Structure 1
């Protein structure tokens, strides 16, 4: 067995032959599309109705991707998204935004990191041309060109529609099932494996066990409680405050619901790590987390530059001080709006988000940078794009974040490089944070717990 859990990446395959150069030839490779769908896409693109054709293509691609993700189980997807409120009765198409689907596909090894980037660029391209506010200064509407349309066509077919079935790393499901079906001890190889694994797996393990504690009964609950008591003491110093608050919040939930067995088992685990400081005195933080979720939903949806303002204002109305358990979610949501995407940031929502961020004290920024930013993949991914990266540097420089006491060495390098306007150093630090979160990429599947 490997001595480390690693993310799996699919082997590159020639979905689209080199000889396929025309729209018609490329579209024929989309084996998941009916001949009728293929004809409609080709007809639209050859008629230079690029926005219509690419939009139709994207809808079909996302439907296929979400359908395949759904085979892993809705609860499992909810755990990966940090959404313990979902269950198998939820529809995968309602649960996942398009950005969620692409991110999960990357994390599960269904597409490579490079191809995931191309899919995100396709979505941003579609969203950009759907916005009338990006008209030419002379009131001449901008239009998608043929090169952009062909790139989008290739990305969707190569990664999704050109495969009879999108290959999922089902070892991830085995990893989850092992946590929930096999009692673990501190001496188990699998527990030692977790401590040496990328942060992604540590975070996921905690989420999986907490979700089971809230929903399982009988033997399933006993195993989950036993394993959280084994795993949590080992991982406590290796997870950040975001996950610690998640444990405390779960304890508050089961206590309020009168779930005696779950409450007692989780209480024992918290006592072992002296973790009761992370149990919220009330569930006020829930309101802030839900407000942050609404911002992200708007940000990752169509016409986000128009729809972001209302949920940002709603967050601002909740109070001047964000509860500590909700700080990670709220900061990530506000930064997402403030940084925008490749095509810009909302003229109305971005200033409102920045205004809320100006109210942060230095200790709040220190908490986010040290405890949250190293695992905030949403924000780290934005730094790949020139526009969001420039807005990030402006924010760091304006708020003088380099004067914060930053204990996380790589996060400090990122902030210092941002303050110095050093793009090369910034991107080196960003890549290191992402690599540390996911672990070293390899061509093998993650080893399941024995």
Structure 2
């Protein structure tokens, strides 16, 4: 049976092991002009590694976002859960640098390994930017770190020509809003058999269309909601079911009668009204959690994280169920930190909030959210977050939580035993199950 797949691009021209100097490595940067290459090489050869990497990263980030924009700015917004994004928005304004790497990995523009190296380069830049803010002159980027970053950026992005991305899904996404699919349409079966990533993204596309579209496009979206949501409902996890219920509640509150009618019909077919929140209080929590993500992913994150975490804490310890996936993920990102450590003040506040959550809520997260929480899973590739994760599992006694997902169960057991190799093996399995590809 056919299924949607993430398109796997070929890497850029392989940088040979013999290419060791900045000049030799830069030769393979197909997307850089001769002038750009000269400036980067000059900075490296002069020992101004931080200056050279910052210039290199600016070119890399711009090129990556340009490739991402080829799939449509609206789709990128849907992937990030940003409902207020439309095709006229500038990709530079709506996507942070960290988000661009996550999206590039999800869409297959870069491999998981290249994404990990790009994230490391970005963390390196943000780390030394923070040290500069502290007026510290005792640490600086060394040559080996600079060379590794140069290779990572060229191999993953700058060494490749422009590529097509996720073409099969882009065509499917256009059909969701441009035509009404029948129950026996082969694309419905295709979606049923596809990796969970595409089910999650389809829900986002359809819910945003129900809230934002008008006229024929709205009619097509609502018709497809009534075909596709029942088709994939048994496969959907709690977070996506709440997303459908929340879309209905929001449309009802906004008086959008056409959307309300279509969404109500779909919810009745799957007996899904248990997932309609009684009020929109959850949206306040979700927005507060999204502010934590922005601080965590941005420059000087150690300084900027405490304020949004405190703001979330002020909303109260009783987090509405529809907001649990986003809030859990945000709090765990702060608690685990990145390859350079954590924001101590933010970590303390985040852990205090996590301690207020019951065992049932931890079970909800571990069973229904963690299997597709790539933000948290990706952190386990770094040594410091991995150690924080193992301590967290012990501190919260998470291995005693009832786990239904076999891969999550293996992850928790390995974490409790502090077996790093098995943790990474279980994490890799979860990523493969989510994307439907080898990680």
Report deviation, 1:441: 4.1
Q: Which residue of 2 aligns with 1:42?
A: 41
Residues 330-369 of structure 1 aligned to structure 2 (within 5 Å): 330-369=327-366
What is the CA–CA distance in structure 2 between the aligned matches of 1:108 and 1:233, rounded to whole Å? 26
The equivalences for 1:29-428 within 5 A come to 29-132=28-131, 141-428=138-425
In 2: Cα distance, 1:170 partner to 1:236 partner: 25
Residue 445 of structure 1: aligned partner: none
Secondary structure of the 2:344 match is coil
**What does 1:23-34 correspond to in 2, within 5 Å?**
23-34=22-33
For residues 355-408 of structure 1, give each alpha carbon's deviation from its aligned partner in whole angstroms, at most 9, with x where no partner exists. 111111111101111111111010011111111111011011111111212222
- The TM-score, its normalising length taken from structure 2, stands at 0.95
Higher deviation after alignment, 102-111 or 284-293 = 102-111
2: CA distance between counterparts of 1:314 and 1:171?
Answer: 41
In structure 2, distance between residues paired with 1:384 and 1:162? 25
CA distance in 2, matches of 1:159, 1:10: 10
Q: Distance in 1 between matches of 2:89 and 2:283?
A: 21
Distance apart, 1:220 and its partner CA = 1.3
| Alpha-carbon distance between aligned partners in 1 of 2:141 and 2:5, rounded to the nearest angstrom | 39
Asked if 1 retains the 8 angstrom alpha-carbon contact of 2:242 and 2:275, the reply is yes
- Name the CA distance, whole Å, in 2 between partners of 1:256 and 1:199: 30
Q: Does the alignment pair 1:5 with 2:27? A: no
State the Cα distance separating 1:166 from its structure 2 match: 4.1
Aligned partners of 2:404, 2:14: CA distance in 1, in Å? Answer: 46
1:278 & 1:28 partners in 2: Cα distance?
55
Q: Does the 8 Å CA contact 2:11/2:160 hold for their aligned counterparts?
A: no
Whole-angstrom distance in 1 between the partners of 2:172 and 2:376? 27
**After the TM superposition, which of the residue ranges 119-128 and 419-428 deviates more from structure 2?**
419-428
Question: How far off is 1:282 after superposition?
Answer: 1.1
Structure 2 unmatched ranges of 5 or more: none
Give the root-mean-square deviation of aligned CA atoms. Answer: 1.9
Please give the alpha-carbon distance, in whole angstroms, between the structure 2 residues aligned to 1:169 and 1:374: 22
Residue of structure 2 equivalent to 1:446:
none
Q: Distance in 1 between matches of 2:230 and 2:85?
A: 27
Asked whether the 8 Å contact 2:71–2:166 carries over to 1, the reply is no
Deviation at 1:30, TM superposition (A): 2.5
Matched, 1:432 2:429: yes
> 1:132 touches 1:141 (CA, 8 Å); kept in 2?
no
User: Are residues 15 and 428 of structure 1, via their aligned partners in 2, closer, same or farther at CA, if it must alter by over 3 Å?
Assistant: closer
SS where residue 345 of structure 1 aligns? coil
Aligned-partner Cα distance in 1 for 2:82–2:149: 30
With over 3 angstroms needed to count, the CA separation of the structure-2 counterparts of 1:153 and 1:166, relative to structure 1, is farther
CA deviation string 1:183-206 (max 9, x = no partner): 222222221221221100111111
**1:17-60 CA distances to partner (integer Å, 9 max, x unpaired)?**
55533212322332333333222211111111111110111011
Q: Deviations over 1:193-250 (max 9, x none)?
A: 2122110011111111111111222221111111110111111110111001111111
**Structure with the larger RCO, 1 or 2 (CA within 8 Å, 6+ apart):** 1
Give the superposition deviation at 1:103.
Answer: 1.2
Contact 2:25–2:151, Cα closer than 8 Å, also in 1: yes
2: CA distance, partners of 1:369 / 1:85:
29
Supply the distance in 2 between the matched residues of 1:113 and 1:305 (Cα, whole angstroms): 25
Aligned length: 439
Q: Is the 8 A contact 2:196 2:435 kept in 1?
A: yes
Q: CA deviation at 1:178?
A: 2.3
